[in-house]
Amino acid sequence: MTWSLMKAIIILPGTVLVFVPTAILIVSRGTRFYPDLQYPTEVTFFLAMAIVSTGGYLAVRTATLFTKSGDGTPAPWEPPKKLVITGPYRYVRNPMISGAILILLGETVLFNSWPLFLWTIVFLAGKMLYLPFIEEKELKQRFGEPYLEYMAHVPRWIPRFRVWNC
């Protein structure tokens, strides 16, 4: 694993999935929104772990594709040099963000925390604005016609039922 990839993992997902949720849990503890840390039931624990594991798989798989197929990292300071449209990207354009949302939802279930759920909504809303207005414009400029064709066939958020073969 390269230093650039490690830095991208620590700074970007580390902040969204670990540092901010930890701060939220600490600050909201003892309030009416999150009165006290309670141990989850077995069912809740296994449900949360299933959600987090699915999200974690998507996040790791897509980050790996960026390094191996795209010759870059998920970080904006070292983006992929090649358009990555393999693996989960053949079903949905933003599987990495889908993975992050799943991890946040799993954390919400695990800790039974409304403030964490609110953070998930805020993060998703930010991505729903950032992706079409900033990131996709930049990707159109970098990759041109291949990205436009990809956009025409693969949805931004809701996965296709069938794999897209470019």
State pLDDT tens for residues 3-20.
Answer: 766 777 778 888 999 999
- Is 160 domain-assigned? no
Q: State which residues form the domain around 135.
A: 3-153
**82 found inside a domain:** yes
* pLDDT at 129 (0 to 100): 97
Query: Which among 52, 67, 73, 81 is positioned nearest to 10, based on CA atoms?
Result: 73
Conformation bin of residue 39: beta by default, left when phi > 0, alpha when psi is -120 to 50: beta
Residue 106 lies in a domain: yes
**What element of type H or E holds 3?**
helix 3-14
Query: How many Å apart are CA 131 and CA 122, to the nearest integer?
Result: 14
For range 139-160, the mean pLDDT:
96
pLDDT computed for residue 8 by the predictor: 73
Q: Is the pLDDT of residue 76 over 90?
A: no
Q: Over the stretch 28-39, which tens digit does the pLDDT of each residue have?
A: 887 776 667 778
What's residue 33's pLDDT?
65
Write out pLDDT tens, residues 106-117: 999 999 999 999
What's the total number of domains in the chain?
A: 1
- Measure the CA–CA gap between 7 and 131, rounded to whole angstroms: 22
Indicate whether 75 belongs to any domain. Answer: yes
Within a domain: residue 48? Answer: yes
Considering only CA atoms, which of 88, 103, 89 is closest in space to residue 139? 89
Q: Which amino acid is residue 92, in one-letter code?
A: V
Task: Note whether residue 43 is domain-resident.
Answer: yes
For the cut 90, the answer to whether the pLDDT of residue 153 exceeds it is yes
Tell me the mean pLDDT in the region 67-77: 89
Q: Is residue 158 part of a domain?
A: no
